[in-house]
C-alpha cells in the first residue's frame, strides 16, 4: 500500500474560501513572533540537540582533529631546532615519519567527523521538515487561501535545504574553530608572548569587519528567499494551468511575469552574494597583513637571538591556524545568513496557531443529522459581509439544495458547517449542540464531501477509495466502488483496483474521477453529506451514473447540495434561494415556482432551457 494512506485529508490548498465558489477568505492567521537571529539559532540547536549520540561522536573527533592539527606545527619547529640546524639527518627522518603519521591520522579523523556530522545534520533536517509538513495539516484553510502552493513548497524545500547545508558545514567548523583558536593561542603564549600580542591584532579587526558586512547581507538574503518563494509559486501555478495559458495564448505574458520575478530574485541574490562575499577578501587581507607583521617581528627577534628559528617557524604556523578558522567562518557567513533567513521563514509557519490548539478531544456519537443555522452572519473581510442573518433548519435525512448567483454565500454556508471557518455571529447547531463545542476531527469524521473538482492522489485506485476510511478492508473498498457505479470502469482497466494513478488522476476522465470520490465518500459512511456542484462539468450520460451513485449515497443522510443542474435540485426536500448573503426564499421546487419570485426567475432563465 502506498504512503497515500498516511496523509491527512484536506481540500486542495490555495483555492479561495475552502471550496470552489466562496469568498476570498482573507482572515489573518495569528502568529507568535520569534524572528530575531538569536531565537532562530536556539531553535535550530534544539532540533540538532536531539541527535545527542551523533553530536557526542562529532565532538570527540573534532577535538582529536584539532589536537592533531595543533601538534603538527610544534613538531615542525622541534625538527628545525633539533635536527635540521644541528644536521642530524637520522633524527630528521624520524621527525618526518612522525609528522607524516600525525597528518594521516588527522585526515582519517576529519573524514569520520564529516561522515557522522552529515548523518546528524540530515536526521535533524528530516525532523524539521516532517514537523513543518505536519504543521501545514494543522493550519486553518484561511492560511492556504493567503499563501500560494509554490511559496509553501519553497519553505519545505529550499529554506530547509539551506539549513541542512549550514548544519553540515558550519557546526563542526564552529567547534573546530573554537578549539583551534583557543589551543593555538595557548601554545603561542607559551612560545612567545610579544609575538602573541601581535597576532591578536586580528581579532578586533575581524569582528568589526564581519559585523558590519553581516548587517548589510542579512536583509538581502531574506529578500532572496522571499523572491524564491514567489518564483516557485508562479512556476507551480503556470505549469498546473498550462492548458489555460495555451488556450488564451498567454505564453509570452507568463514568460514576462517569470522574467520580472526572476529578475528581482537575481538582483537580490547578486546583492546578497556581493555583500556577503566581501567577508572573505576582507578577512584574507587582515590575515595576510597580520602574517606579514608577525614574520617581520619574528625575523627581527631571530636575528637578535631573541628566539630560535624553529620557534619562529612554529609560531608562524600557529598564527595561520589562529587566523584561518576566523577566515573560514567569515567565508561561510553568506551560507549562515541564508540558512537563518530560511529558518525564520520555516519557524514563522511553525509558530502559527493550529486550528486544533483549543480543541478538547472527545468521542462524538454518530450525528442524527439535524443542522440549524440561527441568525448566522459572517464576513471574510470586516467591511464585506458575506452572510447576514441566515436562519434555517435541516431535519435528519433531508436533502437541502442551495441555489443562487456566484458569490451569494452558498459555499460560505458549507465552510461554516465543516468548520473551515468559524461562525462569527449567531449560532450553528448540530443535533442541538453548538458546533464550536465539538471536536473538529470528530466532526469532520462524520462529514462526507464531494467537490466539483474531483481530487485524486498519486497511488492506486484502491488507495484512493480507501482514503475515505483507512482501516477499510479490500472487500469494503470494492463494495463501495460497486455502490458508486465505479466498479465497471475499474474492471476494464489493465490492473483493476491496483492501477496506478498519475498526479491528479490525469489518466482518468473527469467523470471516472468523480465516481472514485463518491466511492470514497460511501466508504467513509458520513452522517452529513455535502455535494458541491459534483455534476456540473460532466456529460449527460456520465451525469446519470453519478446521479444514481449520489442518490444512493444521500439515502438516509442529511445532504446539502450546491448545484445548477435541474435534476439535482428539483427533487430536493427544500431549496434555499440565497441572494447577497440572505435566504430570500425557501421551499420545494413546486412551492418556489408558485411564488413567482427569484427561484422562478432562475428556473425560467436557466433550468427551463436545460429541459429543452
290-309 pLDDT, tens digit per residue, is 778 878 877 887 777 776 77
- Helix locations, 192-308, DSSP H: 193-199, 202-240, 242-247, 251-277, 279-303
Q: What is the pTM of this model?
A: 0.69
pLDDT of residue 462: 92
Which of 530, 492, 537 lies closest to 511 in space, CA to CA? 537
Nearest CA-CA partner of 321 in 191, 187, 208 = 187
Q: How far are the Cα atoms of 306, 405, 434 from residue 423, in angstroms, in the given order?
A: 85, 22, 10
The whole-angstrom separation of Cα 212 and Cα 488 is 70
CA 26 to chain CA centroid, nearest Å: 20
For residue 401, list its beta bridge partners: 561, 575
Cα three-residue angle 319-320-326, rounded to 5 degrees: 100
Pairing of strands 528-532, 447-451: parallel
Was domain 33-350 assigned CATH 3.40.50.150? no
- For CATH 1.20.1560.10, list the domain ranges present in the chain: 33-350
Q: What pLDDT is attached to residue 503?
A: 64
C-alpha cell recorded at residue 32: 507568535
Query: Long-range contacts of range 84-93, CB-CB < 8 Å, 24 or more positions apart?
Result: 85/309, 85/310
Q: Which fold has domain 371-611?
A: Rossmann fold (3.40.50)
Q: How is residue 112 written as a grid cell?
A: 569520520
What is the pLDDT at residue 21?
47
According to CATH, where is 3.40.50.300 located in the chain? Answer: 371-611
Question: How high is the pLDDT of residue 18?
Answer: 52
Length of the chain: 612
Beta-strand relationship, 500-501 and 459-460: antiparallel
Whether 191 contacts 314, CB under 8 Å: yes
pLDDT in tens, 204-254: 777 777 777 766 777 777 778 778 878 877 887 777 677 667 756 778 888
In this structure, what C-alpha cell is assigned to residue 47?
532540533
CA distance 544 to 333: 64
Bridge-based pairing state of the strands 528-532 and 582-587: unpaired
The stretches in the chain having pLDDT less than 70 are 1-36, 214-215, 240, 243-244, 247-248, 280, 307, 323, 326-334, 357-361, 503-505, 534-543, 545-546, 564-568, 606-612
Residue keyed to cell 535545504? 161
Amino acid at each position: 500500500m502506498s504512503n497515500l494512506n498516511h496523509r491527512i485529508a484536506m481540500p486542495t490548498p490555495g483555492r479561495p474560501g475552502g471550496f470552489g465558489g466562496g469568498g476570498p477568505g482573507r482572515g489573518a492567521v495569528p502568529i507568535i513572533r520569534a524572528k530575531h537571529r538569536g531565537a532562530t539559532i536556539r531553535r535550530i540547536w534544539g532540533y540538532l540537540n536531539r541527535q545527542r549520540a551523533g553530536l557526542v561522536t562529532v565532538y570527540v573527533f573534532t577535538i582529536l582533529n584539532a589536537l592533531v592539527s595543533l601538534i603538527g606545527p610544534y613538531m615542525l619547529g622541534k625538527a628545525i631546532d633539533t635536527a635540521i640546524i644541528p644536521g642530524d639527518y637520522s633524527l630528521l627522518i624520524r621527525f618526518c615519519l612522525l609528522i607524516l603519521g600525525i597528518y594521516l591520522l588527522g585526515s582519517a579523523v576529519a573524514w569520520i567527523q564529516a561522515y557522522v556530522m552529515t548523518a546528524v545534520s540530515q536526521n535533524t533536517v528530516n525532523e524539521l521538515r516532517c514537523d513543518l509538513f505536519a504543521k501545514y495539516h494543522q493550519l486553518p484553510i484561511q492560511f492556504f487561501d493567503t499563501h500560494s502552493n509554490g511559496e509553501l513548497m519553497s519553505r519545505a524545500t529550499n529554506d530547509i535545504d539551506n539549513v541542512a547545508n549550514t548544519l553540515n558545514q558550519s557546526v563542526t567548523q564552529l567547534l573546530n574553530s573554537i578549539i583551534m583558536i583557543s589551543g593555538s593561542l595557548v601554545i603561542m603564549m607559551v612560545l612567545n608572548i610579544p609575538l602573541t600580542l601581535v597576532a591578536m591584532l586580528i581579532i578586533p579587526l575581524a569582528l568589526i569587519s564581519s559585523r558590519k558586512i553581516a548587517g548589510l547581507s542579512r536583509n538581502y538574503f531574506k529578500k532572496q528567499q522571499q523572491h524564491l518563494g514567489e518564483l516557485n509559486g508562479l512556476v507551480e501555478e503556470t505549469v498546473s494551468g498550462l492548458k489555460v495559458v495555451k488556450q488564451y495564448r498567454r505564453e509570452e505574458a507568463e514568460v514576462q511575469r517569470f522574467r520580472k520575478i526572476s529578475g528581482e530574485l537575481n538582483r537580490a541574490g547578486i546583492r546578497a552574494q556581493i555583500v556577503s562575499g566581501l567577508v572573505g577578501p576582507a578577512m584574507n587581507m587582515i590575515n595576510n597583513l597580520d602574517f606579514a607583521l608577525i614574520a617581520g617581528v619574528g625575523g627581527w627577534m631571530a636575528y637578535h637571538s631573541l628566539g630560535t628559528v624553529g620557534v619562529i617557524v612554529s609560531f608562524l604556523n600557529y598564527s595561520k591556524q589562529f587566523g584561518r578558522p576566523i577566515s573560514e567562518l567569515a567565508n561561510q557567513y553568506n551560507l549562515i545568513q541564508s540558512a537563518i533567513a530560511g529558518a525564520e521563514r520555516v519557524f514563522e509557519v511553525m509558530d502559527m496557531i493550529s486550528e486544533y490548539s483549543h480543541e478538547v478531544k472527545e468521542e462524538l456519537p454518530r450525528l442524527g443529522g439535524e443542522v440549524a443555522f440561527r441568525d448566522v452572519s459572517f464576513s471574510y473581510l470586516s467591511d464585506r459581509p458575506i452572510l447576514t442573518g441566515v436562519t434555517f433548519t435541516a431535519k435528519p435525512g433531508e436533502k437541502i439544495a442551495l441555489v443562487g448567483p456566484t458569490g451569494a454565500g452558498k459555499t460560505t454556508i458549507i465552510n461554516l458547517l465543516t468548520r473551515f471557518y468559524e461562525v462569527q455571529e449567531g449560532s450553528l447547531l448540530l443535533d442541538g449542540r453548538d458546533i464550536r463545542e465539538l471536536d473538529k476531527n470528530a466532526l469532520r469524521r462524520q462529514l462526507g464531501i464531494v467537490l466539483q473538482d474531483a481530487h485524486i492522489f498519486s497511488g492506486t485506485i484502491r488507495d484512493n477509495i480507501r482514503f475515505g476510511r483507512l482501516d477499510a478492508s479490500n472487500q469494503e473498498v470494492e463494495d463501495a466502488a460497486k455502490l458508486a457505479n465505479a466498479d465497471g470502469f475499474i474492471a476494464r482497466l489493465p490492473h483493476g483496483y491496483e492501477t496506478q494513478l498519475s498526479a491528479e488522476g490525469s489518466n482518468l476522465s473527469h467523470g471516472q474521477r468523480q465516481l472514485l470520490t463518491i466511492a470514497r465518500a460511501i466508504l467513509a459512511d458520513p452522517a452529513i453529506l455535502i455535494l458541491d456542484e459534483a455534476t456540473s462539468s460532466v456529460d449527460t450520460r456520465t451525469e446519470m451514473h453519478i446521479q444514481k451513485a449520489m442518490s444512493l449515497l444521500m439515502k438516509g443522510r442529511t445532504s446539502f447540495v450546491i448545484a445548477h443542474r435541474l435534476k439535482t435540485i428539483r427533487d430536493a426536500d427544500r431549496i434555499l434561494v440565497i441572494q447577497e448573503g440572505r435566504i430570500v426564499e425557501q421551499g420545494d421546487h413546486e412551492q418556489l415556482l408558485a411564488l413567482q419570485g427569484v427561484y422562478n426567475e432562475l428556473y425560467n432563465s436557466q433550468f427551463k432551457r436545460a429541459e429543452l
